[in-house]
């Protein structure tokens, strides 16, 4: 099942994409997709609905982030060995954990805003995990039972803020529109092997990133279990799990985003995103 939200920013409605690819308005079943409503029980309720009897979303409607808001927006750094190498950094012995501000969340095709004074705006196609049930000291063998589904995330980054301005990485990861998510959440049952998904990112039609989740250093199950040692994960929390090689920071010479450029990215089975870079 694909959970989607559609409509103008701040006024999105919850939807489900039916087998014909039509977005069906399920606001008669659930008020929105967020921490208060996301659960396995909701998925069961949506599966019981005759989607064909529900209204279709308007053609060309904006697609919003597939969750209304996030409690935790957690990110894992350097989780692909080849990306660590291009960044000139050692392969971590444990997951590198940092946060993105929840206010960085945006729709998958919304414009990405260049922060004032930004010099090194970068891209990162990533697999995102959306939590469905509370996680507190979860064993790795059972960790994916707590996952509602998966989505595409672009972990947009300002590298100068991240690495050259002191403090934590969060500073370079949290500006408004730095968290495009979606176009939808694909429920866990529709992804037979989350560690075998092709991924890509193009800049103005030119391939920058090509990868597969099979080369992640720490698997999705390991990440969920690991994080549950240090914090309680709640329904609706999002974990973005690292990026394959091909980011601007790792290019020789380095190459960063410019106003007017378009990012096009996707993950097999999870959909695609497209964002234009614009000045704020």
What pLDDT was estimated at residue 91?
87
pLDDT of residue 89 exceeding 80: no
User: How far, CA to CA in Å, does 234 sit from each of 38, 184, 204?
Assistant: 10, 19, 37
pLDDT over 90 percentage in the chain: 94
Domains and CATH numbers, the chain: 2-63 (no CATH), 64-279 (3.90.850.10)
- Residue 180 pLDDT greater than 90, yes or no: yes
- The confidence band for 254, taking pLDDT boundaries of 50, 70 and 90, is very high
Mean per-residue pLDDT over the chain, rounded: 96
> What pLDDT sits at residue 206?
98
Q: How confident is the model at residue 83 (pLDDT cuts 50, 70, 90)?
A: confident
Global pTM reads 0.96
pLDDT for 228: 98
For position 72, what pLDDT does the model report?
A: 96
Over the stretch 9-59, which tens digit does the pLDDT of each residue have?
A: 999 999 999 999 999 999 999 999 999 999 999 999 999 999 999 999 999
**pLDDT of 113 over the 90 cut:** yes
* pLDDT value for 167: 84
Check pLDDT > 80 for residue 87: no
- Asked if the model's pLDDT at residue 262 lies above 80, the reply is yes
HEC sequence for the chain: CEEEEECCCCCCEEEEECCCCCEEECCCCCCCCCCCCCCHHHHHHHHCCCHHHCCECCCCCCEECCCCCCCCEEEEECCEHHHHHHCCCCCCCCCEEEECCHHHEECCCCCEEECCCCCCEECCEEEEEEECCCECCCCHHHHHHHEEEEEEEECCEEHHHHHCCCCCHHHHCCCCCCEEECCCEEEHHHCCCCCCCEEEEEECCEEEEEEEHHHECCCHHHHHHHHCCCCCECCCCEEECCCCCCCHHHCCCCCCCCCCCEEEEEECCCEEEEEEEEEC
**Average pLDDT of the segment spanning 87-105:** 92
| pLDDT for the residue 129 | 98
Average pLDDT on 252-278 reads 98
Q: Which two tokens stand for residue 42?
A: 């909701």
């Amino acid at each position: 099942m694909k959970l989607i939200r559609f409509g103008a920013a701040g006024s999105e409605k919850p939807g489900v994409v039916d087998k014909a690819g039509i977005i069906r308005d399920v606001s008669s079943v659930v008020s929105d997709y967020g921490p208060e409503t996301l659960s396995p029980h909701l998925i069961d309720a949506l599966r019981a609905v005759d989607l064909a009897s529900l209204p279709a979303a308007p053609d060309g409607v904006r697609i919003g982030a597939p969750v209304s808001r996030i409690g935790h927006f957690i990110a894992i750094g350097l989780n692909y060995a080849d990306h660590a190498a291009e960044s000139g950094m050692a392969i971590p012995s444990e997951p590198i954990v940092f946060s993105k501000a929840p206010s960085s969340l945006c729709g998958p095709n919304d414009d990405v805003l260049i922060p004032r004074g930004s010099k090194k705006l970068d891209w990162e196609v990533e697999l995102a995990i959306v939590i469905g049930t509370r996680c507190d000291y979860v064993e790795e063998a059972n960790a994916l039972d707590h996952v509602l589904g998966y989505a595409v995330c672009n972990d947009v980054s300002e590298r100068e803020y991240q690495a050259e301005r002191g403090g934590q990485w969060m500073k370079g990861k949290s500006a408004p529109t730095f968290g495009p998510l979606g176009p939808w959440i694909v429920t866990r049952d529709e992804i037979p092997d989350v560690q075998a998904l092709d991924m890509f990112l193009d800049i103005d039609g030119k391939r920058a990133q090509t990868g597969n989740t099979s080369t992640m250093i720490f698997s999705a199950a390991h990440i969920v279990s690991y994080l549950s040692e240090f914090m309680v994960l709640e329904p609706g929390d999002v974990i973005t799990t690292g990026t394959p090689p091909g980011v601007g920071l790792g290019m020789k010479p380095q190459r960063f985003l410019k106003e007017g450029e378009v990012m096009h990215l996707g993950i097999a089975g999870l959909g695609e995103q497209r964002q234009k870079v614009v000045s704020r």
